[in-house]
């Protein structure tokens, strides 16, 4: 009887330790995302106006400057949320609620960048190709910002890949079929890579 009781207690203690460990891993991952949200603001505040300046040389400029202003607002909001989170760390009961919040912010950032590929933005096929190269670079940079949480990276990447694919299908793009195959393949490779990286980060934290 005492042995069975001891086994039950050991099992309960093991479950509690596992739960505490997983919460510690989640907290550290959220901390990494929050710090990346703060650091990423400077890159966006530099890169978005620079991209708007260069693209405005080849297409109607006003559309790009409005886009750059929207990206600056998103970046400042992202940084403010990350700063608030780090200054007011949530307790264990509210920790899991922050994961979807950071995913929503990541999706908002992805939507902002993806707007460059929308067919509504008037530009030539050559400029659109340049935008595609820019978005692929942004996707790669996003992997560094969201490497601790594959779900957040997927939320960031999917709008970019989706808008690129839609622009290819609906627009007059050379080798459209080949590009339409490569864009989802690129997104799949990036998401799988982010999953492997985030799993490695979790293992290191453990």
Give the mean pLDDT of the chain.
80
Asked if residue 175 has pLDDT above 70, the reply is no
8-12, 54-58, 140-144: segment of lowest average pLDDT: 8-12
pLDDT average, residue stretch 131-160: 85
Q: What is the pLDDT of residues 31-42, one digit of tens each?
A: 888 998 888 888
Higher pLDDT, 82 or 192: 82
**Predicted pLDDT at 105:** 94
Residue whose C-alpha is closest to residue 161's, from 145, 182, 183: 183
> What is the C-alpha to C-alpha distance for residues 50 and 202, in angstroms, rounded to an integer?
35
pLDDT on residue 205: 61
* Residue 168 · residue 179 · CB < 8 Å: yes
Which has more confidence, 44 or 201? 44
Q: Is the pLDDT of residue 201 over 70?
A: no
Quick one: what percent of the chain has pLDDT higher than 70?
A: 75
Q: How sure is the predictor about 178, in pLDDT bands with cuts at 50, 70 and 90?
A: low
Give pLDDT tens digits for 45-78.
Answer: 999 999 889 888 877 788 889 999 999 999 999 9
Among residues of the chain, what percentage have pLDDT more than 90? Answer: 22
Give the pLDDT score at 145.
Answer: 82
> Which pLDDT score, from 0 to 100, does residue 181 have?
67
pLDDT in tens, 71-109: 999 999 999 999 999 999 888 788 889 999 999 999 999
């Amino acid at each position: 009887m005492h042995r069975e009781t001891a086994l039950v207690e050991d099992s309960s203690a093991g479950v509690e330790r596992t739960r505490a460990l997983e919460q510690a891993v989640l907290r550290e991952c959220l901390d990494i995302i929050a710090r990346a949200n703060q650091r990423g603001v400077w890159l966006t505040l530099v890169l978005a106006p620079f991209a708007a300046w260069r693209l405005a040389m080849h297409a109607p400029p006003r559309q790009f400057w409005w886009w750059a202003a929207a990206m600056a607002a998103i970046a400042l909001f992202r940084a403010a949320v990350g700063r608030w989170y780090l200054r007011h760390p949530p307790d264990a009961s509210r920790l899991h609620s922050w994961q979807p919040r950071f995913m929503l912010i990541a999706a908002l950032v992805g939507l902002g960048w993806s707007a460059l590929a929308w067919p509504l933005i008037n530009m030539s096929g050559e400029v659109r190709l340049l935008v595609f190269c820019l978005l692929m670079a942004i996707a790669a940079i996003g992997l560094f910002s969201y490497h601790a949480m594959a779900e957040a990276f997927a939320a960031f990447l999917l709008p970019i890949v989706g808008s690129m694919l839609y622009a290819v299908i609906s627009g007059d793009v050379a080798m459209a079929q080949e590009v339409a195959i490569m864009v989802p393949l690129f997104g799949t490779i990036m998401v799988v890579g982010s999953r492997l990286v985030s799993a490695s980060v979790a293992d290191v934290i453990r």
